[in-house]
Structure 1
Amino acid sequence: LLATTGSALVFTTDIEADGTVSLRFGDNTFGRRPLPGTQFTASYRVGIGTAGHIGPDKLFHLALPLPEVTEVRNITAGEGGRNPETNAQIRKRAPFLFKTQERAVTREDYQTLGRRVAGIQDVSCAYIHTGSWITTFALPDPEGRIETSDALRTALRDHYEVFRLAAHDVEVSSPVYVPLEITLHVCVAPNASRSQVRQQLLRLFSSRRLPDGSLGLLHPNRFRAGETFHLSPLIAAAQKLDGVIAAKALRFRRFGDPRTSGLGDRKLTFSRTEIARVDNNISNPANGVFEVEMDGGR
Structure 2
Amino acid sequence: MSATTPNTSRRPNPGDGPIQAPAPQRYINEVDNRPEANMSTLSHLTGAQASTEYSWRAPSPPHIYIPQPREDETLALPAFMAMGYTEEERAILVEVTGNNSWIGRARDWKYAWRREAQSILTFLQLGPSCAARDLTALRNDGVTMLLVIRSTMTAAASLLSGDKAARALGIESAAVDVASNNELIAAFPRATRIINDHLLSQYRRHMATNGTVSQPCGKVLVFCESGNERSAAFVVAFIMNIYGIELVPAIQYVQSQRFCVAFDDDLKYMLNSYQDILKAQRDVPLAPQAKAKRRRDEVIDEDGDVDMDGTGDDEARFGGRTFVPFQ
Give the shorter-chain TM-score range: under 0.3
- The structure showing larger relative contact order (alpha-carbon pairs under 8 Å, at least 6 residues apart) is 2
If the length of structure 2 is used for normalisation, what is the TM-score?
0.19
If the length of structure 1 is used for normalisation, what is the TM-score?
0.20
The structure carrying a bigger helix percent of its residues is 2
